[in-house]
Amino acid sequence: MAMKRVASGRLAVVLGLASVVAACQDRAAEPARPAAQVKVETVALTDYAPVVSLTGEIKARFQADLSFRVSGRITERSVDVGAHVTADQVLARLDPQEQQADVDAAQASVRAAEAQVRQASSAFDRQKTLLGQGFTTRREHDQAEAALRTAQGSLDAARAQLATAQEALSYTALKAGAAGIITARNAEVGQVAQAAQAMFTLAHDGPRDAVFQVHESAFFQQPEDAPVSLALVSDPTVRTTGTVREISPTVDARTGTVRVTITVDRTPDAMALGAAVSGTARLRPRRVVILPWSALASDSGRTAVFVVDPASKVAALRPVTVLAYETGKVIISAGLTAGELAVTDGTKLLRPDEVVAMVPSNTSGATR
């Protein structure tokens, strides 16, 4: 009975060894996994100067709101939006009755003061003659002189009031004050206008500006010192150049943009006020690496690129800093060194520290 148990144990051991040997033979018979086939590209640094192109509007360098300096009812309006006016051209008039009454009253005051001056002057002349003949006293002579001076002061005050009234009367006619184009109008006949209320907006003749609303992200890089190229949107053949004159220190809370004003060096006739223009500026170049978009991978949520060791042909993930994304390519500003081999295609099934079979990027045959 004991011998049967020993024989059974030996048989089990033999069968176990046989199964292990068979499993090893099966594994040895399996073909080795082929190396992943990828496209590679030699990393090279290049100057990258992106172009920024935006649409803006032509505006006058100097623009002013025109208003009456006195209140009244508008009786006449002679211009409309788009009209070109001269400096002394009348744009609108107010009812002048009130101001004319003030002028008439001031003129009457002047005439009365002039009569007082004539009377006081005659009295003083008599006193002066009598004093020389000894027929009057010094006291009476001095009183006549003082009365004359008072009358002359009253005349000066009346004339000043007349000048003020006449000036107020002239304010009932609203003049342009400078040659230019009317760009806005708020005046209508019959309307009661208040003093300093804007009636017209005048764009002065002279220099022109191109105004753009620029997103603040565009200021992260410095532009080149070269002039900004400007072209008419409706006719791109109409071109000119300009230089940045002003950058608003604040961000528009509604649009999140910054107003940039560019002085137009030479304004073509076709670039009229309000014309839409495109402005193109080139940013200052930076040394970057440009790779196809297919080179991008992820390393624990960070953007990365597979780099291959040319000796061992092992691919390793390298975190990189992306400066910009463009159509079909990615701009990398940090993380790669010139001369390294970067995988540009075949990264979808590639794992870190995996041996690869490299194919130059200018040949075909790589798997995606």
User: Are the beta carbons of 312 and 359 closer than 8 angstroms?
Assistant: no
| Phi, psi torsion values for 102, nearest 5 degrees | -65, -35
* Domain stop point among 250, 282, 314: 282
Residue 48 CB partners (closer than 8 Å, separation 6+): 285, 286, 287, 288, 290, 323, 331
208 shares a domain with 103: no
The CATH code of the domain that includes 131 is 1.10.287
* Domain stop point among 171, 195, 219: 171
Instruction: Identify whether 296 is part of a domain.
Output: yes
Which sign, positive or negative, has the C-alpha torsion 282, 288, 292, 298?
Answer: negative
* Domain stop point among 267, 282, 297: 282
217 shares a domain with 197: no
Instruction: Identify whether 5 is part of a domain.
Output: no
Instruction: Identify whether 43 is part of a domain.
Output: yes
Residue 366: what pLDDT?
37
Structural domains of the chain, count: 4
Where is 169: in which H helix or E strand? helix 138-170
| Phi, psi torsion values for 311, nearest 5 degrees | -80, -50
Which range marks the domain in which residue 198 is found? Answer: 62-94+176-203
Q: Using one digit for the tens of pLDDT, what is the confidence trace for 75-127?
A: 999 999 999 999 999 999 999 999 999 999 999 999 999 999 999 999 989 98
Instruction: Identify whether 186 is part of a domain.
Output: yes
Q: Using one digit for the tens of pLDDT, what is the confidence trace for 259-316?
A: 999 999 998 988 998 899 999 888 878 888 899 988 888 888 888 888 888 888 888 8
pTM over 0.85: no
190 shares a domain with 210: no
- Of 100-104, 240-244, 326-330, minimum mean pLDDT range: 326-330
Instruction: Identify whether 9 is part of a domain.
Output: no
The rounded percent of the chain whose pLDDT value lies above 90 is: 45
The answer on pLDDT for 356 being more than 90 is: no
245 shares a domain with 315: no
Q: Using one digit for the tens of pLDDT, what is the confidence trace for 175-218?
A: 999 999 999 999 999 999 999 999 999 999 989 999 999 887 77
Instruction: Identify whether 111 is part of a domain.
Output: yes
Phi-psi region of 190 (alpha: psi -120 to 50; beta: other; left: phi over 0): left
134 shares a domain with 75: no
